[in-house]
Chain A
Amino acid sequence: AQSVTQLGSHVSVSEGALVLLRCNYSSSVPPYLFWYVQYPNQGLQLLLKYTSAATLVKGINGFEAEFKKSETSFHLTKPSAHMSDAAEYFCAVILFSGGYNKLIFGAGTRLAVHP
C-alpha cells in the first residue's frame, strides 16, 4: 500500500537559508508524488509533482524536489528562504485502487522563517 512519511513536524530556518523538507514514500508500484503548500487560513495549493518523467522537478516559488528511488525519498528544497515561505507543507502519493486513484497525505511540516 502507498504511504508517505514526513520527517519533522516543524522546521525553522533563517531568511536566506536553505530550506529542506523531508518526505519518504512507500509504494508497491512506481509512485506519483506531490508537494502541496497551505498558507495560514487557506486551502492547499500544488507546489510541484513527480509523474515518472524527470527526477528533478521544479515547482512554483523557487521550490524543487528530487525523486530518489534508491532512497524512496522526495525531499523538497529551496536555496534561499523568504519570509513569505512560512506555511505548512504536505507531501502526498497517489493510491491506485479499483481503477480509481486517491491522494494519501503525510502529516505535514510547518515551516517557520525568521529574520
Chain B
Amino acid sequence: NAGVTQTPKFQVLKTGQSMTLQCAQDMNHNSMYWYRQDPGMGLRLIYYSASEGTTDKGEVPNGYNVSRLNKREFSLRLESAAPSQTSVYFCASGAISGGYNEQFFGPGTRLTVL
C-alpha cells in the first residue's frame, strides 16, 4: 500500500496563477482532508470530505476549492494564488476507529507564491 500520496511535492507560482494539488489514498477510507501548515500555527483544516460526493469547509477555506473525484481522490484548487497561500499543504484520509476518524497523512506539497 502506498497510503496517501500527493503531487506535486514542490511548486512555485506567481500571484494570480491557478493550480490543483492532487491527493490519492489506497486504504479505502471514506473521509479525506486538506490542511495547511504554517510556522507557529500547527495544521489548520481547509476542507474535508466525509464521504464520496460530499465536501465541507474547514477552518480556513477562503481562496480554495475542492473536488472529491471518487473515493480515492480529493483535489485542492487555488483559482488565483496569493502570497498568503505560501504554505505546506497536507492531505489526509481517515478511517473510523473506536468512534472517531484516525487520520493518515501524505508527505505534503510545499507551495511558494511569489
Rounded to whole angstroms, the CA-CA distance of A105 and B106 in the bound complex is 16
> How many A-B contacts if CB must be within 8 Å?
48
By secondary structure, the B interface counts as strand
> Interface size bucket, A side?
20 to 34
Q: Which residues of A contact B64 (CB under 8 A)?
A: none
Contact A94 B42 (CB under 8 A): no
Contact A43 B107 (CB under 8 A): yes
| Least CB separation from B58: chain A residue | A102
Rounded to whole angstroms, the CA-CA distance of A106 and B37 in the bound complex is 11
Contact A43 B108 (CB under 8 A): yes
Contact B100 A42 (CB under 8 A): no
Contact B40 A107 (CB under 8 A): yes
Rounded to whole angstroms, the CA-CA distance of A36 and B37 in the bound complex is 14
Rounded to whole angstroms, the CA-CA distance of A105 and B105 in the bound complex is 14
B contact set with A: CB distance below 8 Å: 4, 33, 40-45, 48, 50, 58, 90, 92, 98-108
